[in-house]
């Protein structure tokens, strides 16, 4: 985590030094977790995503794991205690870049298809990931969205129900409207 905060500071420092670069941010981005199996579907929403997007393409997301809210309180408890070990690993993060940022015109309304790649850290385990997304500009308001699959076992997450009640591959939906 220390390394990530350092990287965030670095991002702010880099961008502050360049008058041309603007940083959009929010502390209330949304992320949805969805697991679908023949046994059951499990969904949780989190509205505490700390997100930054710089016009040079740098992108950071921080997610408080305990911010995921399930319909079933017991399920939420198991998610935190048994699977995510949230006391030990309270945050998940992503740090990367929009690889085709040059195609995004922040001064013009539009919906731009982007590819984001970088390092995802979940449950204390880091993986290189790449995902498609959209950056929407509307009247100066910037929103980033993405839907992608994540293989939870790649992050050392273990539990009896993985591959049974809980899918090995879950769907993540991200929606961050920057302030």
Ligand X SMILES: *[C@@H]1O[C@H](CO)[C@@H](O)[C@H](O)[C@H]1NC(C)=O
Residues that bind ligand X (CB under 6 A): 32, 43-45, 69-71
Q: How far is the CB of 34 from ligand X (least distance, A)?
A: 9
36 burial level (CB within 10 Å; 0-12, 13-18, 19+): middle
Neighbours of 169 (CB within 10 A): 12
| Residue with smaller CB distance to ligand X, 61 or 79 | 79
Closest CA to 6 of 57, 60, 50, 54: 60
Which C-beta is closer to ligand X: that of 76 or that of 97? 76
Cβ nearer to ligand X, comparing 27 with 71: 71
DSSP letter for 21, please: -
**Which residue lies nearer to ligand X by CB, 11 or 167?**
167
Structure tokens at 135: 């950056």
Q: Which is nearer to ligand X, 37 or 45 (by Cβ)?
A: 45
In the complex, least distance from residue 149 CB atom to ligand X, rounded to whole angstroms: 18
Q: Closest-CB residue for ligand X?
A: 45
- For the CB of residue 121, give the shortest distance to ligand X in the complex, in Å: 24
Buried b (16+ CB within 10 A) or exposed e, 109-134: eeebebebebebbbbeeeeebebebe
Helix (H, G, I), strand (E, B) or coil at 59: strand
**Minimum CB separation from ligand X for residue 72, in Å?**
8
In the complex, minimum distance from the CB of residue 69 to ligand X, in angstroms, rounded to a whole number: 6
């Amino acid at each position: 985590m220390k390394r990530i905060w350092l990287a965030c500071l670095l991002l702010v420092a880099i961008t502050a030094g360049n008058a041309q670069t603007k940083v959009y941010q929010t502390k209330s981005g949304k992320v949805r977790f969805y697991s679908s199996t023949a046994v059951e579907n499990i969904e949780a929403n989190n509205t505490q995503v700390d997100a930054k997007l710089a016009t040079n393409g740098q992108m950071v997301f921080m997610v408080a794991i305990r911010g995921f809210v399930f319909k079933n309180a017991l399920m939420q408890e198991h998610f935190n205690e048994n699977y995510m070990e949230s006391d030990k690993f309270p945050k998940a993060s992503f740090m990367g870049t929009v690889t085709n940022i040059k195609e995004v015109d922040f001064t013009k309304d539009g919906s731009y298809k982007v590819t984001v790649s970088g390092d995802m850290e979940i449950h204390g385990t880091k993986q290189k990931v790449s995902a498609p997304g959209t950056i929407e500009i509307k009247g100066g308001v910037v929103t980033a969205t993405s839907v992608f699959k994540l293989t939870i076992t790649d992050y050392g997450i273990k539990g009896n129900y993985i591959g049974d009640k809980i899918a090995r591959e879950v769907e993540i939906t991200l929606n961050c409207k920057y302030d």
